[in-house]
Amino acid sequence: MPLQRYDKEKILDVCLNVFARHGYANTSTSMLAEAAGISKALIFHHFKSKKDLYLSILDRCFEKGRIEMGFDTLFENHDFFAAKEKSSIIKFHYYKKNPDLMKIIREAFYATPDELKPEIKDKYGKLLAENEKEWKRLFEKVPLREGVDREQAFRLVMITLNYFDEKYLSDIANEDELDEKYLQSFLEERNSFLSMIRFGIEKKERKH
């Protein structure tokens, strides 16, 4: 049954599935309209363009994810590294439950279509900066060795964590690969890298 004018949320849900399946570049407005069971004119009644529709879906993914994953309470944790691990576990289970959302996030931020790069940088740059500011605030509680620059230490840790975030999203081709065995292996490898950063890699020779 065709969607009515007021079913904007349903249009977003259906179009999210189409974008996730085919990617932004390979999705046409005709495909979106057909999947939603409405005319292209009605699509453009709600959204100015395919780009506007995609960004609206991305907005909705962010807002829905922020609420359902409970990230607003995550920063109440007093341990930076424990909070980061908890964040990864939460995201893992959320992406397993919402595989199409994961595909949209992966494309938007790790394989950004050229047409969308300016909008995504402008639209989400500030949001991501605010998120990083919260992590930095939590990192302030990490005790560091004398002489270690806190800003540099934070940068090093975040570079490592961002590498694993990107690796995680690129490793997972579909939701069937999101199992507990993969999660455990992922966390063990990431924590091994973090341990090397936290505790050092060079063996100190005893002075005679």
Per-residue confidence (pLDDT) for residue 5, from 0 to 100: 45
> Which stretches of 70-179 are DSSP H helices?
71-74, 80-97, 99-110, 117-139, 150-171
The tally of CA atoms less than 13 A away on the side-chain side of residue 26 is 7
Helix (H) or strand (E) holding 53: helix 50-69
Residue 15, CA atoms < 13 Å, CB-side half-sphere: 31
Categorize the per-residue pLDDT at 99 as very low, low, confident or very high, splitting at 50, 70 and 90.
confident
Tokens 């363009």 sit on residue: 49
> Rounded to two decimals, what is the model's pTM?
0.80
pLDDT at 175 over 70: no
Buried b (16+ CB within 10 A) or exposed e, 80-95: bbebbbebbebbbebb
pLDDT of residue 182: 85
pLDDT tens digit sequence for 4-37: 444 788 889 999 999 999 999 999 999 999 998 8
**What's domain 1-59's architecture?**
Orthogonal Bundle (1.10)
Work out the average pLDDT over 97-117.
90
Res. 178: pLDDT tops 70: no
The C-alpha angle 5, 67, 51, rounded to 5 degrees, equals: 45
Could you state, in order of their start, the residue ranges of all structural domains in the chain?
1-59, 70-208
Find the mean pLDDT for residues 101-126.
Answer: 89
pLDDT, residue 19, reads 96
In CATH, the number for domain 70-208 is: 1.10.357
If you search the block for the tokens 């994810």, which residue do you land on?
65
Phi, psi torsion values for 63, nearest 5 degrees: -65, -45
Mean pLDDT for the stretch of residues 106-130: 89
pLDDT band (50, 70, 90) for residue 38 = confident
Predicted confidence at residue 67, as pLDDT, reads 83
At 194 the three-state DSSP class reads helix
Lowest mean pLDDT across 17-21, 60-64, 143-147, 159-163: 60-64
